[in-house]
Structure 1
Amino acid sequence: MPTAILADDERLMRDQLRMRLGQVWPELEIIGEAKNGDEAIALVDELRPDFTFLDIRMPGKTGMEAAAAIGGRSHVVFVTAYDAYAVEAFERGAVDYVLKPPEQERLQITVQRLKERLAKPAGDVNASVTAMLSQLAEKIAAPKPKFLQWIQASIGQDLRMIPVEEILFFRSDEKYTCVQTDKFEALIRKPVRDLAEELDPALFWQIHRATLVNVTAIEGVTRDIRGRHLVMVKGRPEKLEVSRSFLHLFKQM
C-alpha cells in the first residue's frame, strides 16, 4: 500500500486532509503527522513514506525548507491556501499541490498525478522549482494569524470546514456547541470557553458563558419584559441573551 505523512501546524487541517484523502484514495495509508518542517523531516527519515504533504508555511522550517531537506527520499506534495497565484506557479513548476481547504474534486486530480508518480523515483526539488517557491514565499511572508480561521463541524454524517467569518454565533448546551451560519447549523464538541480563547476577540464577543456572537452579525440590542438584554442577529429569529458580566460590551452601542 502507498504511504504518506501529513505536515501542517493546524490539527484541523490535518484532520480534514486525512479525511478527504481517505475518501478519494482509500488505499493510501497515513502513517504519521507532523506540526512543523523539522518533525516532517524526522518522520521521513524514520518512516520513509512514499508521499509527504507539506504545508508551505509552518513554524520552524517551512514546507519549502523541509522539501529541500527531504530531497529524493519522498514525493513532496505542497499544501497551500494561496490559490490566487500559487496554482499558476505550481502548474508551471510541475509540482504536486493541494489547496486549503481540500475539496474532493480537486484532490482527485492530485491523487491521479500521485498514483502516476509511484512508479518513478521521487527525485530532488529542482532549481527552477526551488526558485519559484522562494518567490512565492516572499508573497506570503506576512505573519500567520494566531487565531482560528476554520471550524471543523458535523452536519449529519458529513464534516464541513467553515470559515470563521461566515459563522453568526456559537451556542453551547451540556454536550455540544451549535455553530450557526446564515445557511445552516452544525455541531462541534468544543465548549464556548475554549473557543473564546482561540477566536479573534475583535471578531467574536462572548456575551454569555454559553454564547459567542460574530460582531459583524449583530443587528442591535433590545430588552424583554423581564429586563434582560438580548442581542438581535441579522437575518435570524433568535435573540441571544447577554449576561450581566458582559453588558459592558454594549455600552458604546
Structure 2
Amino acid sequence: MRDPSTEAPTVLVAEDEAPQRAALLAMLLETWPELGRVQACEDGVEALQAVAAQRPQVAFLDIRMPGVSGLDVARAVVAYGGQVVFTTAFDEYAIGAFEAGALDYLLKPVQPASLARAVARVRERLAQPDRAALRERVDALEARLRPTDGRLVRWISASIGDSVRMIGIDEVLFFQAQDKYVRVVSDDNEAVIRTPLKELLAGLDPDAFWQVHRGVIVRVAAIDCVHKDELGKWRLHLRGRDEALPVSAAFLHRFRGM
C-alpha cells in the first residue's frame, strides 16, 4: 500500500498579505522540497474556488481573509479529505481557541522552525487521515471564535423608497449584493443597504446564515433545495419563494448531507 506521507502532496496557501504569502511559500518549498503542485491565493473566495477545482491535500490558511474566512475554506478542504494548518497574528483569545481545538496553527510572521514542526505533524496525519475528527475540531474552533452576542447583528437599518425601516435580523431571508448596494429580503418586504457583504458576514451568526456565493448570504432555515439548472449552474430555492439564487461551486460543500 502506498504511504501518502511520502508522496508529493498538492498544497494550497491562502494569505491576503502579499509579502507574508511570498515568505510562507518560500519557506514551505524549502522545508518540504517533495511538494507537488502549490497554489497561492490572496483571498478566501479564490481559495474556495481552488479547493473545489483542485482538492488540495494540505492547506495553509489565514484565519481572517477578505470575503470568506479561513474557517469556511477549511471546511471545504476537510470535506475533500485534506489537512489544514491555520496562520494567525498573535491574539491571546485566538491562540487559546486554537489550542483548545487541538488544531495546528502558525503565528505570524511564520518562523522556519515552527513551520517545520507543523509540516512534520501534517505528514504524519497524511499517512493516517481522520476526516471526522478534523471536522469536529474545526467546528469547535468556529464556536470559540464566533462573535459574542454583543457583536452579532440584531437589526438592519434599511432604505425602502423614501423611508428607513428597522428590520430584525430574524426576519431576513437573504442578502444579495447588487452594484453598490445590498438587497435585504424578508418574507413580506425588500430593502437596500450600503454595508458590504463581508462586513455583514462578520456580524452574523454562522449557524443561522451561510454565504453561498460571492454575492449571496442566506438564512439556513429558509433553504428548500439546491439544484443544477439546464446550463449546469447551481441554484438555491427558499421555501415559499419563486426566486432562485446563485450558488458557487466553491460553496457546494456546505450542502453535503442536507
TM-score scaled by length of structure 1: 0.50
TM-score scaled by length of structure 2: 0.49
Larger Rg: 1
